[in-house]
Chains A and B, each alone.
Chain A
Amino acid sequence: MISRVAESCFWLNRYVERVEVLARMLDVNLAFQLDVSLPDAKRWLPLIVVTGQEQHFLTRHGAKSSDDAEIVQKYLTWSDDNPSSLYSSLRCARENARTIRETISLEMWETLNDLWVFMNDRAARRLYDHHRDVFYRRLRDQCLLFHGIAQATMLHEDPFRFMRLATSLERAAQTARVIDVKYHSIGPTSPDESEETASEAAQWMATLRFCSGVEPFLKRPDNVLCGRAVASFLLFDPSFPRSVCFNLERTRNFLDLLGAGAPGSVGARARMLVSEAADFLSKRNIAEILAEGLHETATWVVETTGEIAGEIIESYFHPSSGPTTSQSQSQS
């Protein structure tokens, strides 16, 4: 398939994933605020930190605003110049979709375009002002609908594979960011669970909910709510669709379907990087990770998936044959 089109498929799903994860985090955080008494600063700023926009936010709104729930939510939801806001991610998703309408199905386009039209309509502002939880859920649900429609209406061939590949890779990174919220909100996690405070436990509960992971987590009989178990679940669980290991495995599968398994093939190096990362992570154990610092592992996941994405972009989308003038998109 045309490299530029493949690249748009790839970015489309990364942006959709960002919308879904951020919408869910904002929704969960709203409810979480009611449960535990922590200062707002630690409740909202971490969300900005993990989207990589702390510097930008502080320059724009000043340190004082970081404990203002309204300003932070507005910044993460509507800000046009925050490249990670829901609004910006949705615009990028829709813009990528618009350039590949001939590739995606009509229903996929309509779902996304509908959401974009809604976001720009007064109805969205009203919903945001009066029923914010419903507003965030609507965004999240439309993203899930988008995936469902893709699954059910597209040819399961290369364009679809590039999209799913992007979703898997982005999910691995987003889960790592979600794990890191706790670090930015409360601080490092002790390897000894008996040292955990009630608010830390509450934060881990929120972390699971950020990933829709509460019930899957509880289905593992040995799991009790503590940092060690939650982190282990989110990093390693082989069947949970948002765990890092699950998504690295999926990334590898989709690369194989794209033919990257054959030596010397276009995506061979990307596949090698994914394999190395998956093997490296699966050989580690949670005690060792916590002793060394969970934040360090989360950072490693974000950086490694970034490197893999870079390799995919380089090899599939910007091959050296012929001149390329393609502009690259924000990777944050």
Chain B
Amino acid sequence: MIRMATGTKSKTLFADYAPLDGAFDELFAPDGSVRPEAARTVELLNAVGIREFKARQKLADASFLKSGITFSVYSDQQGAERIFPFDLIPRLVPGALWARTRRGLEQRIQALNAFLDDIYGEQRILAEKVVPEDLVLGAAGYEKKVRGVRPPSGVHIHIAGIDLIRDPAGEFRVLEDNVRTPSGVSYVLENRQVMKRVFPRVFAESKVQGIEEYPIRLRDALTSVGPAPDDQDGTVVLTPGPFNSAYFEHSFLARRMGVPLVEGRDLFVDDDKVYAKTTQGPQRVDVIYRRIDDAFLDPEVFRKDSALGVPGLVRAYAKGNVALANAIGNGVADDKGIYPFVPDMIRFYLSEEPLIGQVETYVCARDEDCRYVVEHVGELVIKAVNEAGGYGMLIGPQSTRAEQKDFRERILANPRNYIAQPRIELSTCPTWTQHGPAPRRVDLRPYIVTGRSTWVMPGGLTRVALKKGSYVVNSSQGGGSKDTWMLEDGAA
């Protein structure tokens, strides 16, 4: 500590930074030189110096705490709030790379949406055996109760969060689709606010694409799919309540869209129409951005014990009296067991080749794949298809023999429930640690909003594995976040 303190003033931020062997570092080339697109930003950050950088990190942390930008952790005591660790070193993405990726995301959402429309409609893709029928109809997220219910304008995926990684060549690939209730966008917007305040000059000179229009884009998309597309009055955000881990985000989005935030108990259904209980009596609701899972949405149809939902909501939905975003039954599209078939969906529905790659995946439901996986548990990343948040997952190369044995047994007992992927060397970004900037692995979740058209936010949630050597970026497992700067096309 004392050794560090002497001379820190003159030391530049990245003076001792060394990229990790074998991983793609997003700011520095393997020889330690700065990548061209990051040159100006790195120069400006270097000029800030370590001492000043530390002071600004403190400022940023205090500002998150003051604003109450917190999440709750389930394993913790009820209602405990934490701030999501935020790393001040921005992540830079070259404009041209992002432009390619954005088109790939639009294409993917279009295909996934067409898949949902088909699965809950004609089921052509099953008839033509492009995707195995039992895999689709047996998926936990497939809701046969909404077969035949077509949401307004055929939009199923109003809001998507697609998890991307950068592979060793620096290209983005899809790791996972989230088309039910993806969260995290509020952190993206808040992180940006804080960065602008803490590093105004660095930000201004880096020529970063703006993301601030997200809430307005979302509101417009939501109202455009409602029964009364020109009337914003009947739009609400539905939250499970203040004890939900993402409550801050629900409230944030309601605030920034200027629409009411409601809980299930604030709504009721009468004559297949949805109403909010207001101080002046019942008021009609026609678009619900719901942040409640399908299973809890309507105790008449799904879980009977749900106190979070609204009895009769599905009836109103089926009658077309209310739009739900996202639609019911989307879980089948982001099922980890369906994921390997998305490229085929793109070819099937759009007659196009996928513009964005994904990760090679073994589907244990197939005998051949299952055999391979069981024999190679120690080399693969095994994921339970119905788990999220980094739970139910085994990273083979970092696991013990006992863990491997356990997973082998679990896979054989229920092959349908598992997939496996080779471990991808996630890209790294310089991240602040106690010992100065060090390479840490990152992923990216951009958000895609669809109403009458599709819009990809030029930014996203960069999650960073703060622990040295870790590949798990989830906030529930010690991950943090960074601001993601999609540079303007042509800017460096």
Contact = CB atoms under 8 A, between A and B. Distances in A.
Interface residues of A, number: 33
Interface string B270-299: 100001111111100000000000000000
A258 B252 CA distance: 27
A198 interface: no
B7 to A, nearest CB: 32
Contact of A321 (B241, B242, B268): B268
A321 B281 contact: yes
19 contacts: A2-B260, A2-B262, A2-B277, A4-B265, A4-B266, A5-B261, A98-B251, A99-B251, A101-B68, A101-B255, A102-B237, A102-B254, A102-B260, A113-B66, A158-B279, A316-B279, A323-B265, A324-B277, A326-B265
A325 B265 contact: yes
A1 B66 contact: no
Interface string A307-332: 00000000011010111111000000
Interface string A77-106: 000000000000000000100111111001
B277 A319 contact: yes
Nearest to A259: B280
B279 A1 contact: yes
Interface string B239-263: 0011000010001101100001111
Given A101-B255, A325-B307, A326-B265, A117 B280 contact: no
A266 B260 contact: no
**Closest 5 A/B residue pairs (Cβ):** A322-B268, A102-B254, A102-B255, A101-B251, A113-B68
A117 B279 CA distance: 32
B66 A117 contact: yes
A4 B241 CA distance: 12
B65 interface: yes
A3 B277 contact: yes
Contacts of A323: 265, 268
B67 interface: yes
Contact of A5 (B247, B255, B260): B260
Contact of A98 (B242, B255, B265, B275): B242
Contact of B260 (A1, A321, A324): A1
Given A2-B266, A101-B251, A323-B268, A266 B279 contact: yes
Contacts of B65: 117
Contacts of A316: 279
A110 B281 contact: no
A319 B242 CA distance: 22
A114 B279 contact: no
Contacts of A106: 67, 255
